[in-house]
Each structure stands twice: as C-alpha cells, then as structure tokens.
Amino acid sequence: MKKKITVIKGDGIGPETIDQALKVLNCISDIYSHSFEYDYALLGGECIEKTGVPITEDTITKAKSSDAVLLGSVGGPKWDSLPANLRPEKGLLTIRKELNLFANLRPALLFPALASACPLKPEIVNDGFDVLVVRELTGGLYFGEHKTIVQNGMKKAIDSLEYSEEEIKRIAIKGFEIARKRKRKVTSVDKANVLDSSRLWRDVVHETAKAYPDVELEDILIDNCTMQLLKCPCRFDVILTENMFGDILSDEASMLTGSIGMLASASINETSLGLYEPSHGSAPDIAGQNIANPIATILSAAMMLRYSLNMQKEADAIESAVRLVIDNLYRTVDIITDGCKKVTCSEMGDKIIEALKI
Ligand code: IPM
Ligand code: MN
C-alpha cells in the first residue's frame, strides 16, 4: 500500500525520537512491501524560528492532504516568554482544532518486564494494568476565551470552560465504542460536585450509555480519580474525560508505566486522518544527547498504522518488537534498573528493528 505521512519533527528530543520511528516505519515498509511517502512540515519552535509563527497554512494543508500526521514534540524555554498566540503550544492546539481531532487516546499499560520501573509497590501492580485515557481534545478550558483585564488597577485573568452536549456526546460515543473492544468498562471523570460543565458531562455520558448496556459505567470525581490511579490502577479500563483532566491524568498514568517516555498517543476524528505523537514533551534538558527514550514515538507510529492506515498486523509487529526488546532487558536511561543493559536513543531504535526482523 502507498501512504502519505506528514512528518513534523518538532523541538527538543522530537527530531531524535522521530528519526527512530521513521527507521522502524521504513523497516515495516520493507517487510510488508508498503511505500510510505514522508512530507515534512513545520510546527512549534522550529516553525517560529523559520517563519515567525508556530504553525503555517502550508503545514495545515499538508496535514489535511495526507493519510496521517506523525509528530515529535514541541516547545522549549527559548519560546516561553512569547505571547500565548505565538508560543509553540499554540501550533499544536491549532492543528488539533483544524483537523477536528476531538478524541485523544493515551494507552498506559505496564509491561511485566518493566514492573520494577513502576513507582508503586509490587503488590499493587502484581496483576499489571492496562488503562486507556480517552481525552476530549478540542473543547473545554483549552479552547474557551482567555483574557487578562485590568480591574480597579489590578490585573484579572479569565479562562472560560465551555462544553456543548454535542461535544460531550461524540467523545462519549468514542469511549464506549472503544471499551467494547476492551474490558467493557468506562470510568467517566468529572467534577460534577462543583462545575456546571461537569454536570452536563455526566448527564450526556449517562444518556449515551443507554445505547451500550453491555458496557459498565462508573462516575468518579477527578480528585478521587488521581488517588485511585495510585491506589489501584488495575480497576480501570477506559478513563473517559474532558480536555484538562485528561491532560493531567494521562501524565499521572504514564508514570505508572515506568516513564512518560513509554506513553504513545493518537488524536483522531470521525475520518481516518489522525495525528500521532508521544505524550511526553520536548525535554530540552536532554535534547541532542541521543539518550531520550524513543519508545513513545515508536508506539505512536504503531497506533498510526492501526487507526489511520488500517495496518493491524504491522502495528502488532511493532508492539511485539518493543515488548521483546524490553524483555531482553534493553533500557534507555529513564527506565534503567539494576541488571539491565543501557542503550542510547538510536540503539533502542536499532534493537527494535532487529526484533522486527526475527
Ligand atoms: C499534551 C501537552 C499539550 C496539552 C500542551 C503542550 C499544549 O501537554 O499533549 O499533553 O496540554 O495538550
Ligand atoms: Mn500534557
């Protein structure tokens, strides 16, 4: 099959982890006789340096005309003092909105061989866990009105949190549909004891649940959820939540897997076009040293094959190769423990390719 992929290397460790993902994709195209055409585009800090803005029409056009978008990571201290609409993150938010990527899937599962890298006590994670955070990605606080006004000589900042029934309904449907292919349990996270938007969230989720009688639904408040994730991650299957709560919960869940360097992500809409990026940031402190963990980006490429390119066995092959390399005790610095073999970012890519060829 011939597929066109828009590749955005991004900032910090983005280029080095993307290089490993491309190596893996090239290996897949050799083994399975596909042809992947990479169309490079700019977004984030690199885009600011080259064009003055964090995203251009060119990037949006390329993304819209491709089969999928693979993104490294964006941002860095260099651009921290820029106004909000010129920061690298604005590029990311714009592409999510432009492609209508309202559903963000972030799988956090514990590889048995990585159990010792998990900060929880062994008895808590004995049975492992496999949690999928389904995060609403184009609404809520991120996309409400942001403004800072001056009142009585004092500055006052206002961020609005809005959700419509329609926005909640479509993400809830995604959550239930995905749960049907997993363990059939949805935990809907909100703050319905305080927020109107959460009360609407809860109503709409329950209304949607009526069409999925085979899926168990529970509600949980966000503060309790952060605690339960540490106390008993195995009680969760699909965590369905709004934009900001999902941002926070997915970072927390990632740490349980041993490192945020392991957490992939898919941002999808109702079509097959999606954007795939690691959940971690650009880690400017370790950029350019070839020590970053490329697994989150490589697993994001696997999600891309699965969700956008309809290549299930190819996605399975990448996931199995990653598992084998971990089982064989190869570790980047973020997940290293006693008795394991330390590898660089590019060596990890090489090991995964070797495993693919077995
Ligand atoms: C993420 C990131 C982004 C977000 C930032 C960079 C805007 O933290 O993808 O989780 O909050 O969505
Ligand atoms: Mn985040």
Q: How far apart are CA 41 and CA 20, in angstroms?
A: 18
pLDDT above 90 for 109: yes
| Mutation pick for ligand 1 pocket among 92, 252, 265 (CB with most ligand atoms within 8 Å) | 92
Q: What is the pTM of this model?
A: 0.96
Would you call 271 helix, strand, or coil by DSSP?
Answer: coil
pLDDT of residue 55: 98
Share of the chain above pLDDT 90, in %: 97
Measured distance CA(355)–CA(358) in Å, rounded: 5
Report the pocket of ligand 1 as residue ranges, CB < 6 Å.
Answer: 75, 89, 92, 247, 279
Count CA within 13 A, CB hemisphere, residue 271: 11
What pLDDT is recorded for position 152? Answer: 97
Q: What value does the mean pLDDT take over residues 233-250? A: 97
> Which pLDDT score is estimated for 127?
83
d(CA 80, CA 95): 20
pLDDT digits (tens, 9 = 90+) for 124-162: 998 889 999 999 999 999 999 999 999 999 999 999 999
Q: Which tens digit of pLDDT belongs to each residue from 31-47?
A: 999 999 999 999 999 99
Percent over 70 (pLDDT), the chain: 100
Residues serving a catalytic function are: 142, 191, 223, 247, 251
Mutation probe of ligand 1 site: the residue of 89, 134, 138, 250 with most atoms within 8 A of C-beta: 89
Say how many Å lie between the CA of residue 116 and the centre of ligand 2: 24
Average model confidence (pLDDT) across the chain: 97
Q: Which amino acid residue places its CA nearest to atom 6 of ligand 1?
A: 89
Which ligand 1 atom sits closest to the C-alpha of 92? Answer: 7
Kindly give the number of the ligand 1 atom that is closest to the alpha carbon of 104: 9
